[in-house]
Homo-oligomer: A and B are copies of this chain.
Amino acid sequence: MKPIQVGLLGIGTVGSGTFNVLKRNQEEITRRAGRSIQITMVADLDVERARAAVGEGVQVVNDARAVIANPEIDIVVELIGGYGIAKALVLEAIAAGKHVVTANKALLAVHGTEIFAAAQAKGVMVAFEAAVAGGIPIIKALREGLTANRIQWVAGIINGTTNFILSEMRDKGLDFEVVLKEAQRLGYAEADPTFDIEGVDAAHKATIMSAIAYGIPVQFDKAYVEGITKLGAADIKYAEQLGYRIKLLGITKRVEGGVELRVHPTLVPAKRLIANVEGAMNAVVVQGDAVGTTLYYGKGAGSEPTASAVIADLVDITRLHTADPLNRVPHLAFQPSELSDLPVLPMSEVVTSYYLRLRVADKAGVLAQVTGILAGLGISIDAVLQREADEVAGEGAAQTDLIILTHDTREGTMNDALAQMQALPTVLAPIARIRKEELA
């Protein structure tokens, strides 16, 4: 049979990984797919780099549209990234009747609804395993492996940069800024790390998982996004003493009346497997009503791990490109006509438990004031840790840290409590508030 011909748009880290793995494992992949899959054309603005990456025998162009226009190309792989030109090219490829594979989470989280509708209308597939958690086949697990389940929640470490930073902060007791510089030096963080450290990248991925889990359209604009830049070494240490670790989690939950979709630093019990995922590794926990808790772990980024996901998509498309669209797995797991209008809830409606750290004056009555405010709003306390004043290094005896763990509370109520507590004259610094999830 004639090989499946693939055109790559962009040959940076993931593109060259895809090219290399496909070449190295060509025999084995063909034995599985039943047909050879070959990258025959590559578009990159840097034609020299592209030529160096693919060697002889592959057509290299600087115009992505030449790949899309090539009638020999069966599948277009978009590895440019971002919402701009990538969106136009993906839509043009679909319009030209090409199947598309993309690793572009930003594009799908923001414009997925439009893109999937176009693909559906044209009868082509848009595959995106590489867009979430790199080499971990989590899209396939959610969309196919757990298809029997009513998914209850998904919580994942889906950004390697921030997990690396948090792991280093905990291991070495260092502050965020110091570790960020180290991460940049090691290549775990980009020169402009904003999308990673502010939680935007994780929110893109959580948005995609949310859509698949519950059969709702992608709604990145409804996601609550909070990064790790304000996290202090002290909170990591206190969390540890209380039996928790702090991870940046992407969380989506099905609750009464809607879906929660949020990214923020989260206290997780140290004994949970996901709390022990260290360094740049990713892991996603999925809770289904039939299967219970499942977890998927692996490398969430990098050249060949991401290529592993891109090629899995190429093989799936190779198998199914001649099949009836009805034989295929729907883009968002549910049939397009069967998407739900379950709303994404505003953050103020989210219910979770909290870790609070208050820097307070070391005076009698402070604890009573603080707990009085919580009680007044019906917020129930799980644990209080009051540091001896002299344990707070370098601050003299006039201040101390008061740590409070609460039971489940509406975020809106907690915001009211925080405003009241912050206004107390005995509260001497901005209160640290970190959400807590038991994940059980």
Contacts and interface: CB of A to CB of B under 8 A. Distances in A.
A329 B317 CA distance: 11
A312 interface: yes
Interface in A314-363: 315-316, 319-320, 322-324, 326-330, 333-335, 338
Contacts of A9: none
Contacts of A305: 290-292
A431 interface: no
B315 A147 contact: yes
Contact of A34 (B29, B322, B330): B330
B21 A312 contact: no
B32 A330 contact: yes
A32 B308 contact: no
Assembly of this chain: how many copies?
2
A171 interface: no
Given A144-B137, A146-B137, A335-B34, A296 B294 contact: yes
A21 B290 contact: yes
Interface residues of A, number: 64
Nearest to A22: B148
Nearest to A135: B291
Contacts of A64: none
B294 A298 contact: yes
Contacts of A312: 144-148
Nearest to A141: B137
A277 interface: yes
Nearest to A138: B145
Interface in A281-317: 288-299, 304-305, 307-312, 315-316
A170 interface: no
Interface in A120-177: 129, 135-137, 140-141, 144-150
Contact of A149 (B25, B147, B335): B25
A398 to B, nearest CB: 42
A150 B22 CA distance: 11
A31 interface: yes
Nearest to A21: B290
Contacts of A32: 147, 215, 330, 333-335, 338
A164 to B, nearest CB: 15
Contacts of A33: 147
A276 interface: yes
B140 A141 contact: yes
A149 B297 CA distance: 16
A328 B34 CA distance: 10
Interface in A2-60: 17, 21-22, 24-25, 28-29, 31-34
Given A292-B304, A294-B298, 16 more contacts: A24-B150, A32-B330, A32-B335, A34-B335, A137-B144, A146-B312, A148-B307, A273-B276, A273-B297, A276-B276, A288-B308, A289-B304, A290-B305, A320-B323, A322-B326, A327-B327
Interface of A: 17, 21-22, 24-25, 28-29, 31-34, 129, 135-137, 140-141, 144-150, 215, 273, 276-277, 288-299, 304-305, 307-312, 315-316, 319-320, 322-324, 326-330, 333-335, 338
* Shortest Cβ-Cβ A-B pairs, 4 listed: A137-B145, A148-B311, A294-B298, A135-B291
12 contacts: A24-B150, A25-B290, A32-B215, A32-B333, A144-B312, A288-B308, A290-B307, A291-B308, A292-B299, A294-B298, A295-B296, A295-B297
